[in-house]
Structure 1
Amino acid sequence: MERKQKSLGTSSSQATGACVDSVFRFFSLPEEVSHHILSFLPVKDLVRYGGLSKKCQEFQLSTPSVNFVGFSSLPNNRHFRLLGCLDRFLFLRGDNKIRRFRVDWNLVLGKTASIYNELYRVMTWVHAAVKCNVEELDLKLRILEATTFELPICVFDCKSLSSLLVECGTALATPSVACSTNLQYIKLRKVKIDEGFCKWISFSCKCIKELQFEEVKVENITIDSSSLESFSLVSPSFCGVRQLLISGKKLEKIDIEWRCALPSGTSLDVSAPNLRSFKWTGNLLKHQNMGNLMCLEKAEIFLSPSADYNFDNAFGVLHSLCKVKVLILSEETVKALFREGHIPAQFDDISYLAMDITSWDDDVVSAMVSLMKGMPNLNTLNLKSNHSINVTKPEECRFDRTYWKSQNLTFILELKEVTIEFFCGNIELELANYILEDAKNLQKMVIIYSPQQSNLIRGLKKSKMNSTAIIVCQEKQRK
């Protein structure tokens, strides 16, 4: 018995020694490294860490990242104790610098009076962070829908604040246009705003570089900024966005995911002469004006046409991208923008083309050929398929090598790299064989196939090659 107690005592002593040793190692790190490690802790774990020693408490109160997150629903007595503890934590911090302050708080539980009291307490935390020259402020609040949430004016007056994220699930009050700010990054998520908020951004955010709207309920978005460099919109149909007008001389990146229940009456206007990257996912609209995108380097277009879409209007989208170097399209977009016999758009600058193909039918192949005929300098081709590897037996192929040769695709002499992911099998095989035989400057071809298509790979290896290209065959992995 004594031996067991001695053993346990020794084990406990060793564990304590190891803990102390770990703490001393932590203290030996550069202060900025220690603070970076502590920045990942929610405040409740940070407080526990501060209770280990006086030195730990110093680190706890000086760490520049404060995370009031990770609190689940608590009984009222414990809930109010928690509010008091968080108030005390900020009081003990004093004026120590806060670089990033995050709050994740549920304000929809309890009586209305207590909810407004809690909201007032949360805003006192924001005031405290502002006094500590906060740089990044992230507020994720769950508030009753009937409530309009208004940010304190000190947030916009804060000279150190460069980043603001607000998610509140309700209406967000518009700041005064006269209320200027140094904000460089703004993200609004799951809020409801009016057009005045966009006006405030355009007129009062003179330093803004990046703007993100995610599930923001607003009918019309008009942003005209001389400093904005990046704009992002994620708008499901329930958000009700009808019009989007975005303009700026410094805009280099636009990423739009915009879906409309009724495309009629919708419009997109882009005025960004220095735009370099453009991604658009969603519906073709009633009206879209892209302007002259002469500096565009990369475009990703994944659009679904409505039943009554105007072809000529949609085709104008493609003409706006005529100077692009990298073009990525979905199958629906290709089929919508090209029809049999239509004069192809000319893309002399395109060097990389990628398409997501879900079915190799007549319309897809015809549209693909029409598209590629306008790309004389294409040197990289990537044809993907997102379908399961369990494919049906392919029908007899009408698009054989004779068909591909008859299309007189001028880019074939410039082609250097090709990736083809097999779906149907026979059509892709004939296209691959055509490329291997006619692309004299081809350097590499990657074929991605399913286990059922291994016989097609054997046929590919028998192709007559007129280049020294490397052929890489990869079996598709099951998901």
Structure 2
Amino acid sequence: MIDRMSNLPDEVAHNILAFLDITDLTRFGCVSKRCRELYLSTPSLDFDGFSDANTSTCSRRLMLLSSLDRFLLLHCAVNKIQRFRICWNNLLSEENPCFIEDVRFRVITWIHNAVRCKVEVLEVDVSVFEVRSYFLPSSVFLCGSLRSLLLSSLDLILKAPSLASSCNLECLKLEFVDIEDDKGFFKWISCSCKCIKELHLYHVFGIEQVIIESPSLKSFSFVHHTDSDLFPYLLLSISEKAQLFLKPQADDVKILSEVLRSITINRVEALVLNKETTMALLNGVFVPGLLKNVFHLSIHIGSFLDILVPEMVSMFGGTCNLRTLEIKSDPQFLDLKTDCSGFNMGYWRLQNLAFIPHLKEVTIELSNGSNGIELAAYMLEYAQNLKKMVIVHSPQQYSVMRKLNKSKRISSATVVFQEDQQRGNKKQRLR
């Protein structure tokens, strides 16, 4: 009897097998001769999903590593690798140094073999080398077939490749790696990566400044490392249609201001500000127009206090392109009896905020008083393009539904009332 997989064309079967990790793929290869052929010829390899039976002891891990070595050598002898993923973070830290040194050698060998097999997508998520850090093989950046590279490892150090080397990378994602020479590395991206479209840096060590000139870059993400007190200097000269995501952890608003002023593109896709940075902006050092190019903004105000509302207006006054707005507050303010209600619908009408007609999605976490409710009602009535509003409230604030019901009749947006998760998960949709 012929199974359904055996009747499928190789290309279709390989697309299905791409969803399997190496353990399940090996089991599939034992079913039949046809399955073994597909198993050995699949262009997508995922070294992940190892069971405890294969990793519980040092000897079992060595056997697993040896079997993976043999499989990769056999595969690379006759096939090209389109996608190769290595994910291994479950080795015990108390393993002896000799064993970890052996793992280091195996993983680097796997990367070399993937490069030899003209890999197009390479993903390395390995953090097991606790004896000392290791350098990524330079052959990776010299691989002409490589289009996408993801590196995630607390032990990995990147050295700047030679500027004379050409690179066809279209997507580069770095997470928790250490860049040895940030100036040289980003100069290499500017000079040698002529095709790069996406660059994402998440909690990367060793960065003091990012200076990039790349007309091909369409998406840039930067999440600041939490252990660093200073937000690196950013100077980007990239595509005007590029999307930019920044998440600074630094509390120094002056640094944030310098960062935003240095950006030379016309669109900041998303800006996420923590409570300290938001409060610093609201406490008198905010520069009008600083956020004029921000399209998606998330701020944390703590509470809708009367004294903070005028400062919020100052911030919003220079924000003319917002499409998505998220205003977070602290749950502890929900139980305060203080009634903050100094700014009603009439106040918000007088502000004539330029971004209101462009808004499409809004999330507001209510604190005490009615200031947040009044702001939500104003947006419902005057944001003509609003598609969805989420109101996060405490169990004691069900009256907001009645308050906003009148505004809801005017708006075509979907309004979702969500009870604060710390006090319950009940949700009710306003109809």
Match of 1:120 among 105, 110, 113: 105
Match of 2:249 among 252, 259, 273: 259
Write the distance in 2 (CA, Å) between the matches of 1:440 and 1:98: 50
Match of 2:71 among 84, 89, 97: 89
Q: Tell me by how many angstroms 1:24 deviates.
A: 1.4
* Deviation digits for residues 52-85 of structure 1 (CA, Å, limit 9, x no counterpart): 1110000101111111122353433323322221
Match of residue 36 from structure 1: 15
- Residues 84 and 119 of structure 2 are in contact (CA less than 8 Å); yes or no, is this contact kept in structure 1? yes
The answer to whether the aligner puts 1:319 opposite 2:289 as a matched pair is: yes
SS in 1 for 2:20: coil
Write the distance in 1 (CA, Å) between the matches of 2:12 and 2:235: 40
Residues 250-289 of structure 1 mapped to structure 2, 5 A cutoff:
250=239, 252-260=242-250, 263=252, 267=255, 284=256, 287-289=258-260
Match of 1:228 among 204, 208, 217: 217
Match of 1:476 among 409, 418, 422: 418
Change (3 A) 1:149 1:307: same
- Residues 379 and 414 of structure 1 are in contact (CA less than 8 Å); yes or no, is this contact kept in structure 2? no
- Residues 323 and 360 of structure 2 are in contact (CA less than 8 Å); yes or no, is this contact kept in structure 1? yes
Residues 13-412 of structure 1 mapped to structure 2, 5 A cutoff:
24-71=3-50, 73-93=55-75, 94-105=77-88, 110-145=95-130, 147-177=132-162, 178-195=164-181, 196-226=184-214, 227-239=216-228, 242-250=231-239, 252-260=242-250, 263=252, 267=255, 284=256, 287-291=258-262, 295-296=266-267, 298-305=269-276, 314-316=285-287, 318-322=288-292, 326=295, 328-332=297-301, 358-371=302-315, 395=339, 397-400=341-344, 403=347, 407=350, 409=352
Write the distance in 2 (CA, Å) between the matches of 1:24 and 1:365: 67
- Residues 190 and 217 of structure 1 are in contact (CA less than 8 Å); yes or no, is this contact kept in structure 2? yes
Change (3 A) 1:113 1:462: closer
Q: Tell me by how many angstroms 1:174 deviates.
A: 0.7
SS in 2 for 1:212: strand
- Residues 213 and 234 of structure 1 are in contact (CA less than 8 Å); yes or no, is this contact kept in structure 2? yes
Write the distance in 2 (CA, Å) between the matches of 1:190 and 1:440: 40
SS in 2 for 1:206: coil
Match of residue 428 from structure 2: none
Q: Which amino acid aligns with 1:67?
A: D
Q: Tell me by how many angstroms 1:151 deviates.
A: 2.7
- Residues 147 and 169 of structure 2 are in contact (CA less than 8 Å); yes or no, is this contact kept in structure 1? yes
Of structures 1 and 2, the larger Rg is shown by 1
SS in 1 for 2:339: coil
Write the distance in 2 (CA, Å) between the matches of 1:410 and 1:115: 59
Change (3 A) 1:191 1:319: same
Taking every aligned residue pair, what percent have the same amino acid on both sides?
A: 32
Q: Tell me by how many angstroms 1:256 deviates.
A: 2.0
Deviates more, 1:410-419 or 1:153-162: 410-419
Change (3 A) 1:193 1:118: same
Change (3 A) 1:416 1:469: farther
Change (3 A) 1:168 1:471: closer
Write the distance in 2 (CA, Å) between the matches of 1:440 and 1:82: 59
- Residues 378 and 414 of structure 1 are in contact (CA less than 8 Å); yes or no, is this contact kept in structure 2? no
TM-score, L = length of structure 2: 0.75
* Deviation digits for residues 130-161 of structure 1 (CA, Å, limit 9, x no counterpart): 22221011122224355342233332222111
Write the distance in 2 (CA, Å) between the matches of 1:77 and 1:411: 66
Write the distance in 1 (CA, Å) between the matches of 2:282 and 2:401: 39
Q: Which amino acid aligns with 1:60?
A: Y
Write the distance in 1 (CA, Å) between the matches of 2:177 and 2:383: 56
Write the distance in 2 (CA, Å) between the matches of 1:257 and 1:296: 15
Runs (5+) with no aligned partner, structure 1: 1-19, 268-283, 333-357
* Deviation digits for residues 99-158 of structure 1 (CA, Å, limit 9, x no counterpart): 111122467664434433332232222222222221011122224355342233332222
Q: Tell me by how many angstroms 1:98 deviates.
A: 1.0
- Residues 289 and 317 of structure 2 are in contact (CA less than 8 Å); yes or no, is this contact kept in structure 1? no
- Residues 298 and 327 of structure 2 are in contact (CA less than 8 Å); yes or no, is this contact kept in structure 1? no
- Residues 296 and 325 of structure 2 are in contact (CA less than 8 Å); yes or no, is this contact kept in structure 1? no
- Residues 341 and 370 of structure 2 are in contact (CA less than 8 Å); yes or no, is this contact kept in structure 1? yes
Q: Which amino acid aligns with 2:233?
A: L
Aligned-pair Cα RMSD in Å: 4.4
Match of residue 11 from structure 1: none
Q: Tell me by how many angstroms 1:36 deviates.
A: 1.9
Runs (5+) with no aligned partner, structure 2: 426-431
Change (3 A) 1:246 1:138: same
Q: Tell me by how many angstroms 1:203 deviates.
A: 3.3
SS in 2 for 1:165: strand
Q: Tell me by how many angstroms 1:205 deviates.
A: 2.6
- Residues 68 and 104 of structure 1 are in contact (CA less than 8 Å); yes or no, is this contact kept in structure 2? yes
Write the distance in 1 (CA, Å) between the matches of 2:139 and 2:269: 40
Write the distance in 2 (CA, Å) between the matches of 1:224 and 1:306: 25
Deviates more, 1:157-166 or 1:307-316: 307-316
TM-score, L = length of structure 1: 0.69
